[in-house]
Structure 1
Amino acid sequence: MTTPVSDSPDQIRQRQERSWSRSAHGWAGRRATFEAGARVVSHRLADAVGLTLGLNLDLADLACGAGEPTLTLARRLGPLGTLVGLDLAHGMIVEARRAAVQERVEDRVRFEIGDLEALPLADGSQDAATCRWGLMFAVDPSLALREVVRILKPGGRFAASVWDHARHVPMIALARDAAQATLNAPAPTPDAPEPFRLADRDALRARFLDAGFEPDSINVEEQMVTWEFLDAEEYCAFHLEVSAALADLYHQRPYEAQAAFRQVMSESAHQFADPHGIVRMPCRALIWQARTLN
């Protein structure tokens, strides 16, 4: 679930590709649950790059996962615009293409394999780019931001969401804590790719500046995201389905450890349950916006 400090960048990316590809089917299966909460961020990102309904833009969605927010962007894009969704994991691209067909927007978007730190796009080719909860998983986020600057046209817009500090994101943090407490999951190593890595606003602003974005354009806003689960058991099942690394760790442990994990997850989720047992977890995302120099 974490990255040993001795691993090379290429080894980290290879492991990420394998893990995310193996998780892709789970993400596709849980699309409705996740997007019910996450769609507010998808629309915020679309608004942030100026994508109004019917507008023609050349647009890239980076670290697109199983197809969002790319599909949300596709439904807004004008007929002369172009849209590419890029992700490191082949399995995610397979699911994204399948989702595009299901949503009947396959003629508006293409999906390709692409590393955040080596984007397969030409210099100055894009009017805008988005990245929903992917930047913190780049091996080198600063390099990823420089790549975004490279592919954007002068004055091009970029919008990205990252997570705030763990205490503000219980949906992820409680599962991480439960795995560490009961399954012997290792704690994250310093600056390893993980969900809360870019929560420090000053530090991430400095990365935007160093990448070459227009200083006065760099802005961050908070966005609350609430996920809903039928009960505490569904909350636990969700995490085991969308994380191959967690599922591997869980199934490698004896029954007693598995039971302890489920118990801790249940107790954690019950903090957010209503009288009917429905679990609603409010989490705080950070929406970053910036433009390249004209």
Structure 2
Amino acid sequence: MTTTGFEPARFKATQRANWNAMSGGWLSWRDKFERGAAPVSRHLIALAGLGPGQRVLDIGTGTGEPALTAAAVVGPTGHVTAIDLAEDMVAIAADRATKLDDTAAPVEVRQGDVETLDLPEAGYDAVLSRWGLMFAVDHIAAFRAVASVLRPGGTLAASVWGEPADAPMVSRGFRVLAQRLDLPTPPPGEPNPYSMADQEQTELELRAAGFTDIAITDFTAPFWLTDTSEYVEFYRVCSPPGLLTMIEKRYGSADDPETWAAIADSVADLRAPDGTIQLPSRTRIIRARR
């Protein structure tokens, strides 16, 4: 359910434009981000029970994960389909897929929306999604679409963010921006990174979509950066361009030193004895069967 006045089509168009604009930044940050995110991919693949020859769908693949990791697991007799809302993300993931060797499954990457999947019914053994499902406008519709493409007994394995305080990699910097830019709190029911943080509500939505054997657990993504300046860089290159425009309008420049110093300070307390910034971030893990 969404709030009165909310326009799903406009929201999706904005999301698409933002992720297209951020695609280059996410590609440049892929290696640093994957230090913490790759263990989540491996965990999802293990929960899905993937093996050689299976067919897998990855929803919200971004620059290609966990699709590319799954391709290595299911091997050349398997198949992976990866979708993303943003065409520029699709182009990056597709280019990376061409570089897989012949021990991996073929990976088909295409533009797509989780709520209106144009894919074969019961065509997949497993559906994976890493931090993508929580942006769905209608959670139940999204889960029903996922269920429709799973074979009977097939598995959904997905990660979504829990409470913001538990995920400093993504939340500390945004909290600074929200304060400095007086950003409003998203109304209840509107999509946002934490819209599936409520485990009880998410389980109800999964059951309403026809899923069974539901388990929602926590897993820690071991993010870390070399210093606070890397965290500032992450927010500079991986944030929606609209936020940078808002900084410029409010403070005269998108390079406003006080804003970026505040973002650096927001993670200074997480500095380890070796000088690195440790950002372990707890994520919700969903496992359910059709």
Q: Same fold, TM exceeding 0.5? A: yes
Q: Within the alignment, does 1:56 sit opposite 2:77 as a pair?
A: no
Kept in 2, the 8 Å contact 1:87–1:112? The answer is yes
Q: Distance in 2 between matches of 1:239 and 1:102?
A: 29
Q: Which amino acid in 2 is paired with 1:92?
A: M
Deviation at 1:170, TM superposition (A): 1.4
Q: Distance in 2 between matches of 1:198 and 1:230?
A: 30
Provide the secondary structure at the position in 2 that maps to 1:271: helix
1:74 to 50, 71, 74: 71
Deviation at 1:5, TM superposition (A): 6.0
> Which position in structure 2 is the counterpart of 1:247?
244
Q: Distance in 1 between matches of 2:94 and 2:4?
A: 34
Q: Deviations over 1:136-167 (max 9, x none)?
A: 11111111000011111111111110111111
Kept in 2, the 8 Å contact 1:5–1:189? The answer is no
Q: Are residues 266 and 168 of structure 1, via their aligned partners in 2, closer, same or farther at CA, if it must alter by over 3 Å?
A: same
Provide the secondary structure at the position in 1 that maps to 2:288: strand
Provide the secondary structure at the position in 1 that maps to 2:156: strand
Provide the secondary structure at the position in 2 that maps to 1:26: helix
Q: Are residues 229 and 104 of structure 1, via their aligned partners in 2, closer, same or farther at CA, if it must alter by over 3 Å?
A: same
Deviation at 1:50, TM superposition (A): 0.9
Q: Which amino acid in 1 is paired with 2:244?
A: A
1:231 to 212, 227, 230: 227
Kept in 2, the 8 Å contact 1:136–1:193? The answer is yes
Q: Are residues 14 and 4 of structure 1, via their aligned partners in 2, closer, same or farther at CA, if it must alter by over 3 Å?
A: farther
> Which position in structure 1 is the counterpart of 2:218?
222
What's the % identity of the aligned pairs?
32
Residues paired across the two proteins, number: 286
Q: Distance in 2 between matches of 1:107 and 1:145?
A: 26
Q: Runs of 4+ in structure 1 displaced over 6 angstroms?
A: none
Q: Distance in 1 between matches of 2:244 and 2:224?
A: 21
Q: Which amino acid in 2 is paired with 1:159?
A: A
> Which position in structure 2 is the counterpart of 1:167?
165
Q: Distance in 1 between matches of 2:22 and 2:275?
A: 27
Q: Which amino acid in 2 is paired with 1:11?
A: R
Q: Which amino acid in 1 is paired with 2:236?
A: L
> Which position in structure 2 is the counterpart of 1:121?
119
User: Structure 1: where are the runs of 5+ without partners?
Assistant: none
Q: Within the alignment, does 1:92 sit opposite 2:89 as a pair?
A: yes
Q: Deviations over 1:14-66 (max 9, x none)?
A: 111111111111111100011010001100111111113xx111110011111
Q: Distance in 1 between matches of 2:219 and 2:135?
A: 20
Alignment of 1:7-156 (within 5 A): 7-52=6-51, 55-104=52-101, 108-156=106-154
User: Structure 2: where are the runs of 5+ without partners?
Assistant: none
Deviation at 1:101, TM superposition (A): 2.9
Q: Which amino acid in 2 is paired with 1:210?
A: A
Q: Distance in 1 between matches of 2:114 and 2:5?
A: 21
Q: Are residues 102 and 269 of structure 1, via their aligned partners in 2, closer, same or farther at CA, if it must alter by over 3 Å?
A: farther
Kept in 1, the 8 Å contact 2:222–2:281? The answer is yes
Provide the secondary structure at the position in 2 that maps to 1:71: helix
> Which position in structure 1 is the counterpart of 2:5?
6
Provide the secondary structure at the position in 2 that maps to 1:117: helix
Q: Which amino acid in 2 is paired with 1:109?
A: V
Question: Normalized against structure 1, the TM-score is what?
Answer: 0.91
> Which position in structure 2 is the counterpart of 1:187?
185
Q: Distance in 1 between matches of 2:105 and 2:153?
A: 28
Deviation at 1:6, TM superposition (A): 2.8
Kept in 2, the 8 Å contact 1:226–1:283? The answer is yes
Q: Are residues 37 and 209 of structure 1, via their aligned partners in 2, closer, same or farther at CA, if it must alter by over 3 Å?
A: same
Cα RMSD, aligned residues only: 1.9
Q: Distance in 2 between matches of 1:29 and 1:282?
A: 21
> Which position in structure 2 is the counterpart of 1:158?
156
Kept in 2, the 8 Å contact 1:183–1:261? The answer is no
